[in-house]
Amino acid sequence: MSNELKNGHAPVPPTNFLRGIIEADLVSGTYADRSTHDGAPLPQVITRFPPEPNGYLHIGHAKSICLNFGLARDYAGRCHMRFDDTNPEKEEQEYVDTILDAVQWLGFSWEHEGGQHLYYASNYFDFMYAGAQALIRSGHAYVDEQNAEQMRESRGTLTEPGRNSPWRDRPADESLRLFEEMRDGKHPDGSLILRARIDMASPNMNLRDPAIYRIRHAVHHNTGSKWCVYPMYAYAHPVEDALENISHSICTLEFEDQRPLYDWVLERLSAEGMFAKPLPRQYEFARLNLTYIITSKRKLKQLVDEKIVEGWDDPRMPTIVGLRRRGYTPEAIRLMCDRTGASKHNSWIDYGVLEGALREDLDPKARRAVAVLRPLKLIIDNFPAGQSIDCSAPVYPPSHPLHDQEHRHFPITRELWIEREDFMEVPPKGYFRLFPGNKVRLRYGYVVECTGCDKDQDGNVIAVHCTYFEDSKSGTEGSSTYKVKGNLHWVSAEHALATEVRLYDRLFTDPHPDAGGKDFLTALNPNSKEVITAYLEPTLKSAQPGDIYQFERHGYFVADRVDSTDGQPVFNRAVTLKDSWGK
Ligand code: ATP
Ligand code: MG
């Protein structure tokens, strides 16, 4: 399936306030006339996607990816793929690899006009260190000797100002020397800390002399043991953005209160000649909140660790790897992200919007196939045993360019599987499927008339009987003389592929599983995974992992060989044909 952004079915994204900001900057030329050190012109729009490589990406990250890469694409700019790897402890190469894979799978690239824009914040540690020294020299930072407890205590509250540290006015030379000692490993973790010298009485707590460098004797995945001091996010992030000439630094609303600090860092360092103007600007949008899922990394990990799901790529997980195994397409995820735009206010998006986007993407392009999920035997008594007649159906739906060209073939035989719900001995009013005396069409095959059924001792129906009309075959002239209301799917009992199908559903029954401190484990949907053996059209024997089909009347299913031992494809249900939740 194509990952191409422009020829997909996604409509032009709706305008959002970020587009308004970018367009205003383009009109006023805020970021025109910028160039690199060697004089090459820079695009006016440079965004970045800056994950910390400490876990798997989820649907919320996809939102950020679509926004950042999407805006860069739409405004002829570029988006940097940047690992915000300034925390030594939690970061691993495994996460770097899965993140890069997820971004590419979503259809985005950090390549722009021949340049690769893949960056690691840890490669800027030298610069960040020098920037911190410059702040100390100019009186804008100092080494504090208070411990964490004392710092917390002197920080004040929302209603009370904080108190100055006794080390706040120490001479710059002394702070410089101590900062070097910190770097040289002469002090244990937590004994000294570098703080920005701003305003302990600021109504914005983030400006009350925030920590900008701390001691951490730890091995880093990229820089090894070169460093034992590491920059704090609030200092590192604006520096990373400015070094990469980011124009629009887009983050989620939680960072709104950090914006004054972001600007402070950049203003100070530009006054020291370390950055040229125009500086990057930070903008905040509301994070994506989808009902019926959780996105906290810690809680997702708990689901994995406690074996509530079968791994990070369990098809019920909201991770990119999970969604992918579930049968989600990049196009569907992009469509959902575009459609939900960017807002300044937090809100909930119904999970049905994501499912709707998948249906919308797959309906015109997914191959069609037949599957009987809850089988019941249908015996055509006047059809000779051992005989089979070839039937055919289009592979693709009517709107598809290959609709008239590609056909699949499958035999009809005396014994078939039909859906259990397609027969009723005593039908209610308005039931058009099989019941004694009624005629239906076996889709792509013949019209049959129901003659009765067999039951076991307990009265359960175990087989249905019918007779067929030889001149009624679909696609032949005679077929039009039969007018029937029911049109049932079926597979030949002898030829069907009997295989495992997993019927996945939402993992939680509560639309807000972890809202307000709720224990999300109490809201687990006991029916989020049902494993059945289904009878599939024989052509599906050749399905390859990742192939997506519409099983007629049932929904969309993706072939998945994970867990399959005998080499047969197994299928995961991605989504039903219609939304049945909340109805
Ligand atoms: P952590 O708790 O580890 O910081 P995180 O989800 O913020 O988790 P990051 O790796 O820092 O993970 O996120 C990368 C980017 O994705 C950030 O810019 C972040 O704002 C964005 N992002 C994360 N979750 C969402 C979400 N639900 N909606 C939109 N953007 C998100
Ligand atoms: Mg984060």
What does the pLDDT read at residue 426?
A: 95
The domain containing residue 478 runs over which residues?
Answer: 374-495
> Which ligand is in closest contact with the Cα of 296?
1
The span from the CA of 326 to the CA of 324, in Å, is 5
The mean pLDDT of 228-240, rounded to a whole number, is 98
Residues 270 and 389 in one domain: no
Q: Which residues pair with 111 in a beta bridge?
A: 116
Query: Does residue 297 line the site of ligand 1, with CB under 6 A?
Result: yes
Percent with pLDDT over 90 in the chain: 90
Residues 357 and 506 in one domain: yes
pLDDT value at 8 more than 50: no
CA dist 314 to 92, 141, 505, Å? 21, 47, 12
| Cβ atoms 465, 451 nearer than 8 A | yes
266 found inside a domain = yes
Query: Does residue 295 line the site of ligand 1, with CB under 6 A?
Result: yes
- Nearest residue by C-alpha to atom 22 in ligand 1: 61
Report the relative pairing of strands 447-455 and 439-442 from DSSP bridges.
antiparallel
The mean pLDDT of 210-233, rounded to a whole number, is 96
DSSP state of 35: B
Q: Which of 248, 256, 264 is nearest to 284 (CA)?
A: 256
- Nearest residue by C-alpha to atom 18 in ligand 1: 251
What does the pLDDT read at residue 581?
A: 66
Tell me the catalytic residues. 52, 287, 297
- Residue 418: which residues within 8 A CB-CB, separation 6 or more? 372, 375, 376, 377, 378, 434, 464, 488, 489, 490
468 found inside a domain = yes
Check which CATH number belongs to the domain holding 405 and give it: 2.40.240.10
The mean pLDDT of 499-521, rounded to a whole number, is 95
pLDDT in tens, 245-267: 999 999 999 999 999 999 999 99
Q: Hey, what are 353's tokens? A: 């919007």
4 found inside a domain = no
pLDDT, mean over the chain: 94
- Nearest residue by C-alpha to atom 2 in ligand 1: 297
Check which CATH number belongs to the domain holding 38 and give it: 3.40.50.620
- The domain boundary residue, chosen from 249, 264, 285: 285
- Residue 346: which residues within 8 A CB-CB, separation 6 or more? 253, 286, 287, 289
160 found inside a domain = yes
pLDDT in tens, 311-331: 999 999 999 999 999 999 999
- Nearest residue by C-alpha to atom 27 in ligand 1: 60
pLDDT in tens, 374-432: 999 999 999 999 999 999 999 999 999 999 999 999 999 999 999 999 999 999 999 99
- The domain boundary residue, chosen from 444, 467, 495: 495
7 found inside a domain = no
Query: Does residue 343 line the site of ligand 1, with CB under 6 A?
Result: no
Residues 261 and 211 in one domain: no
Residues 490 and 382 in one domain: yes
Pocket test of ligand 1: the residue of 16, 58, 61 to mutate, having most ligand atoms within 8 Å of its CB, is: 61
pLDDT value at 474 more than 90: yes
How sure is the predictor about 6, in pLDDT bands with cuts at 50, 70 and 90? very low
Find where tokens 């015109």 sit: 364
Residues 114 and 255 in one domain: yes
Residues 246 and 224 in one domain: no
- The domain boundary residue, chosen from 217, 232, 247: 232
Check which CATH number belongs to the domain holding 207 and give it: 3.90.800.10
Helix pair 172-183, 125-137: axis angle to 10 deg: 160
> Which ligand is in closest contact with the Cα of 250?
1
| Cβ atoms 392, 409 nearer than 8 A | yes
Query: Does residue 60 line the site of ligand 1, with CB under 6 A?
Result: yes
189 found inside a domain = yes
The span from the CA of 526 to the CA of 42, in Å, is 54
Q: 337 C-alpha to center of ligand 1: Å? A: 15
Please work out, in degrees rounded to the nearest 5, the angle formed at the alpha carbon of residue 8 by the alpha carbons of 7 and 12. Answer: 90
Gap between the terminal Cα atoms of the chain: 32
The span from the CA of 241 to the CA of 269, in Å, is 13
Residues 227 and 238 in one domain: no
What does the pLDDT read at residue 284?
A: 98
How many structural domains is the chain composed of?
4
pLDDT value at 475 more than 50: yes
Q: Which of 113, 102, 50 is nearest to 77 (CA)?
A: 113
242 found inside a domain = yes
Residues 349 and 262 in one domain: no
DSSP state of 504: E
Alpha helix ranges (H) inside 14-124: 17-28, 59-74, 93-105
Residues 42 and 106 in one domain: yes
Residues 194 and 249 in one domain: no
Residues 140 and 71 in one domain: no
Residues 178 and 211 in one domain: yes
> Which ligand is in closest contact with the Cα of 60?
1
411 found inside a domain = yes
